[in-house]
Amino acid sequence: MSSPEQPHFERGSILHVVSIFPALREVFVLRDAREMIRLGWTVFLGQLRPAGRRPRAIGFNDLRPHVSKVNLLSFEMAKGFVFCVRKLPKRTIELARICLRSWKEPWNLLKTVYILLASMQLSYRFRNSRLTHVRGHHLHSEALAAMFVGGFLEIPYSFKCYTVKLHYPRSIITEIVHRSDFAVADTLQVKAFLKNLGASDAQLHLIRNGVRLSDFSFRNSQDVSGNPVILAIGGLDYKKGFHVLLKACALLRGQGVDFRCVIVGEGTERQRLEDLKRRLNLNGDVHMCGKLSFAEIQSWYQRAAILVVPSVVAPDGSTDGLPTVVTEAFVMGVPVIGTDTAGIPEVIQEGSTGFVVPANHAEILANRIARLLENGELRSRFAGEARKLAEEVFDLERNSQVLSKLILGEQHRTHESVDPAGCAYVSSARA
């Protein structure tokens, strides 16, 4: 493949716009890009910002040759600006006016101007290519850049939305939605959110984040030896609700329940969680093992009795969407307990594929954990039903084929079905 600086394409080509590469919290985005490559697309990852010290995902070095970085205040960015102003003056003015809609919020205005300049650089870099589509991951800077690049190169763009939070003024967000060729939601909650922002039925598509089923071997046995492992995985921030899990662990210990809790991940809440762990005298019961590789996480899935997803609504209103770890646990046969937050109850069906508990209720969470730990038959039933659902809904290869058809214009409208567990998903298309 040719260098990202001088792209040359022989087949369908996509520019995936991401904020940083490889972002630890965007493993699902990287898997998505990798699967599109497997399906025969030429894929470039347009990286808007330097990664800096932010946590990085492990195991995606194969995607590095596909990364096309934006270079702040570079000569190429200046050439991109001159190119757009001279060759596309009307389009430049039109898109610049969208940035000015955030003039009452100076920080957002600065960010949107930067995204416009970054988009000019990417547009200049890909100006002579046969790029056919631009994708933005998240309804934020990535989707804004996709709209700008699509506008400058006069090609369609789309975006995928994972949460229900506005990061820019509503008028900018609705412009992104309105101009897009199509929009993808990963949960019903997000789909309703996009509908409220003005997305039409023809634009909207529900495609769940998936995994390659072959990458995860199903664990048939639910036998537990020694202290059963309660597993939790995710970035250590408030909305993950790990503080609630620690309180539930303290209750379990007080009830004499044998367990070992393992929390995988890094983040800004680490010190706060460590302090809470000490105050609750859980140093011998809870192990916080930081960031791990994909292989190491799989090893913990194999050893875990249950996975707990204790998500809460953060003070700023942000939620967790549908954590990828739920999908991974479903595929591997690990029973899951999650909260009634965001998209989690769409896939964890109470009493069928797992338990759903109210957010911020440590007592109820502890009760459900104890019930599952003492009942191997129930764990086996949950695991089996969850795997069936994963095969129907979270197959990355099939979901990527649906996305490919959307990009190619071969699929104009999704037909939404409901599986026996009651989880809506994309199952077929009507041309």
The pLDDT assigned to 350 comes to: 95
Residue at which a domain ends, from 206, 230, 259: 206
Residue at which a domain ends, from 158, 188, 206: 206
pLDDT, tens digit (0-9, with 9 covering 90-100), for 152-173: 999 999 999 999 989 999 999 9
Judge if 252 and 355 occupy the same domain: yes
The pLDDT assigned to 334 comes to: 95
Q: Flag whether pLDDT at 419 surpasses 60.
A: no
Give the 3-state DSSP-derived string for the chain, with helices as H, strands as E and coil as C. Answer: CCCCCCCCCCCCEEEEEECCCCEHHHHHHHHHHHHHHHCCCEEEEEECCCCCCCCECCCCHHHHHHEEECCCCCHHHHHHHHHHHHHCHHHHHHHHHHHHHHCCCHHHHHHHHHHHHHHHHHHHHCCCCCCCEEEEECCCHHHHHHHHHHHHHCCCEEEEECCCCCCCCHHHHHHHHHHCCEEEECCHHHHHHHHHCCCCCCCEEECCCCECHHHCCCCCCCCCCCCCEEEEECCCCHHHCHHHHHHHHHHHHHCCCCCEEEEECCCCCHHHHHHHHHHCCCCCCEEEEECCCHHHHHHHHHHEEEEEECCCCCCCCCCCCCCHHHHHHHHHCCCEEEECCCCHHHHCCECCCEEEECCCCHHHHHHHHHHHHCCHHHHHHHHHHHHHHHHHHCEHHHHHHHHHHHHHCCCCEEEEEECCCCCEEEEEEEC
Q: Percentage of the chain surpassing pLDDT 90?
A: 82
Rounded CA-CA distance 306/252 in Å is 14
Q: Flag whether pLDDT at 226 surpasses 70.
A: yes
Judge if 135 and 101 occupy the same domain: yes
Rounded CA-CA distance 185/356 in Å is 22
Residue at which a domain ends, from 175, 206, 237: 206
Residue 380 has a CB neighbour count (10 Å cut-off) of 16
Q: Please check whether residue 175 lies inside any domain of the structure.
A: yes
Q: Please check whether residue 396 lies inside any domain of the structure.
A: no
The pLDDT assigned to 4 comes to: 47
Judge if 184 and 265 occupy the same domain: no
Confidence of residue 1 (pLDDT cuts 50, 70, 90): very low
Angle at 374 between CA 372 and CA 378, to 5 degrees: 50
Q: Please check whether residue 232 lies inside any domain of the structure.
A: yes
pLDDT, tens digit (0-9, with 9 covering 90-100), for 11-30: 589 999 999 999 988 899 99
Judge if 60 and 152 occupy the same domain: yes
Of the candidate ranges 21-35, 48-62, 196-210, 338-352, the one whose mean pLDDT is the lowest: 48-62
Residue 158 has a CB neighbour count (10 Å cut-off) of 23
Judge if 217 and 199 occupy the same domain: no
pLDDT, tens digit (0-9, with 9 covering 90-100), for 43-70: 999 999 998 878 788 889 999 999 999 9
Output phi, psi for 164, to 5 deg.
-115, 45
Q: Flag whether pLDDT at 189 surpasses 50.
A: yes
Please list the residues that pair with 229 across neighbouring strands. Answer: 260, 304
Q: Please check whether residue 3 lies inside any domain of the structure.
A: no
The pLDDT assigned to 5 comes to: 45
Judge if 150 and 285 occupy the same domain: no
Q: Please check whether residue 285 lies inside any domain of the structure.
A: yes
pLDDT, tens digit (0-9, with 9 covering 90-100), for 95-133: 999 999 999 999 999 999 999 999 999 999 999 988 999
Judge if 50 and 87 occupy the same domain: yes
Contact 112, 144 (CB under 8 A): yes
Q: Please check whether residue 413 lies inside any domain of the structure.
A: no
Judge if 193 and 217 occupy the same domain: no
Interstrand relation of 336-339 and 354-357 (parallel, antiparallel or unpaired): parallel
Please state, in angstroms and as integers, the Cα–Cα distance from residue 232 to each residue in 10, 130, 334, 380, 408, following that order. Answer: 44, 44, 12, 19, 39
Judge if 233 and 376 occupy the same domain: yes
Rounded CA-CA distance 308/368 in Å is 10
> Could you tell me the residue range of the domain that residue 196 belongs to?
13-206
Judge if 168 and 225 occupy the same domain: no
Interstrand relation of 133-137 and 67-69 (parallel, antiparallel or unpaired): unpaired
Q: Percentage of the chain surpassing pLDDT 70?
A: 92
Rounded CA-CA distance 422/379 in Å is 20
Confidence of residue 411 (pLDDT cuts 50, 70, 90): low
Judge if 241 and 379 occupy the same domain: yes
The pLDDT assigned to 233 comes to: 97
Judge if 61 and 195 occupy the same domain: yes
Domain CATH code at residue 17:
3.40.50.2000
The pLDDT assigned to 25 comes to: 83
Q: Please check whether residue 420 lies inside any domain of the structure.
A: no
Residues constituting the chain: 431
The pLDDT assigned to 410 comes to: 77
Q: Flag whether pLDDT at 291 surpasses 80.
A: yes
Q: State the total domains in the chain.
A: 2
Please state, in angstroms and as integers, the Cα–Cα distance from residue 133 to each residue in 101, 117, 231, 292, following that order. Answer: 26, 19, 39, 34
Confidence of residue 181 (pLDDT cuts 50, 70, 90): very high
Q: Please check whether residue 247 lies inside any domain of the structure.
A: yes
